[in-house]
Amino acid sequence: MSKRIYFLDSLRGIAAVTVVATHLAGTFREETLMKEIFEPLGRSAVILFFLLSGIALSLALKNKDRFTWQGYAAFLVKRICRIYLPFLAIILLTECLFLKFTPSGISTLSGWFNTFGTDALQWKVFFREYLHEWELC
C-alpha cells in the first residue's frame, strides 16, 4: 500500500506549474492578463512548493520502520542521485549549448528575458553556490 498523500502531491504540482507560468509571464514585453494573474502568485507558489516538499521528505523519513544511520545514508544518496546529479548535468549541458549558440535576443520578448543569463557562466560562483547547497543538506 502506498503511503503517499496525493492531495499534497497535487498541491505541489499546482505550485510548480504556477512558478513555471510566472516565469513564462515574465518573458512577455507587454502587460498581459497572464502577467497580471501570475506575477503576484509566483513567490507564494515557491514558498508553498518548498513547504510541501519539506513535509513530503519528513514523512518519507517518518514512515521508515526504525531509524538507522545506514538507512539515512541510503536516503541521502538516493536524493543526491535524484536531484543534484541531474541538476549538475543540465547546468553543464546548458553552458555548452550557450557557448555554441551565443544568443542575440528575441525582439518581441522583454528586456529581462533577453538579458538574463547572457553572460557566460562564472565557474567560481557556480561551484561556490553548488557546494553551499551541499552544506545545507
Same domain, yes or no: 9 and 56: yes
Same domain, yes or no: 58 and 97: no
- What per-residue confidence (pLDDT) applies to 127? 75
Same domain, yes or no: 58 and 1: yes
Range of the domain at 96: 76-137
Q: Enter the C-alpha cell of residue 28.
A: 512577455
Could you give the number of structural domains in the chain?
2
- What per-residue confidence (pLDDT) applies to 1? 42
Same domain, yes or no: 39 and 96: no
Same domain, yes or no: 53 and 30: yes
Indicate whether 69 belongs to any domain: no
Same domain, yes or no: 40 and 95: no
Same domain, yes or no: 41 and 3: yes
The DSSP secondary structure of 60-127, one letter per residue, reads: HHHTSSS--HHHHHHHHHHHIIIIIHHHHHHHHHHHHHHHHS-----TTB-HHHHHTT-SPP-HHHHH
- What per-residue confidence (pLDDT) applies to 25? 83
Same domain, yes or no: 45 and 80: no
Q: pTM of the entire structure?
A: 0.58
| pLDDT mean values, one per 10 residues, the chain (137 residues) | 76 92 81 80 90 85 76 84 89 80 68 67 72 61
